[in-house]
Structure 1
Amino acid sequence: MHVILPDEQIHQIQLLIADLIKQEIEKRLNNSNLDSPFLNKQQACNYLGISNNTLDSWIKKGVPVIRVGKIVRFDKNELNRWLQNQ
């Protein structure tokens, strides 16, 4: 099947796609929120530049973790301090 659209509709579709991509990038950047002093596990991995398995290993070695019920957070200052002492 071959669909032929007028140039104006093609342009509108391109703008919509570009806007959706921009929104998704902004959403992901906001979710990474590395400006926060507290990081979730994925953010901590990104911050430290390590894999999830490496972080799990480091937790066993004493990386400071904040646990509230099932929620796990990492304080960036404590992570930095722990790394400097290793």
Structure 2
Amino acid sequence: MQVILPDEQVHEIQLLLSNLIKQEIEQILNNSNIESPFLNKKQACQYLGIANNTLDNWIDKGLPKIKIGKTIRFNKFEVNRWLESQ
């Protein structure tokens, strides 16, 4: 079955889809909290573009981390500085 729509409706559908995609991307970016100067392990992996195992290896090699109880955070400034020194 084929549906033929007028150009105006096709354009409306394209705009709706575009807006939905834009909203979804904005929501993902807002939820990732990547703008914060401090990152959790998942965010650090996303920020650095590496796997969790690689992050653990880098921590063992001296990647700066902040540990509060069982919570680990990474300061982006310190992470960048560490990367530049490697």
The alignment's TM-score, normalised by the length of structure 1, stands at 0.70
Which digits, 9 at most, give the CA deviation of each residue in 1:24-63, with x for residues without a partner?
6544322211110000000000000100000000000000
Partner-residue secondary structure (3-state), 2:30: helix
Identical counterparts, % of pairs: 70
- Which structure 1 residue ranges, 5 or more long, are not aligned? 1-19
Specify whether residues 70 and 23 from structure 1 end up closer, same or farther in structure 2 by C-alpha distance, changes over 3 A only: farther
CA–CA separation in structure 1 for the residues paired with 2:71 and 2:29: 21
Q: TM-score, normalised by structure 2?
A: 0.70
Let me know the Cα RMSD of the aligned residues: 2.6
Tell me the equivalent position of 1:85.
85
Matches within 5 A, 1:1-86: 25-86=25-86
Closer, same or farther: CA 25–78 of 1 in aligned 2, 3 Å: same
Q: Distance in 2 between matches of 1:59 and 1:24?
A: 33
For 1:51 and 1:43, how far apart are their aligned partners in 2? 11
Aligned-pair CA distance for 1:22: 7.2
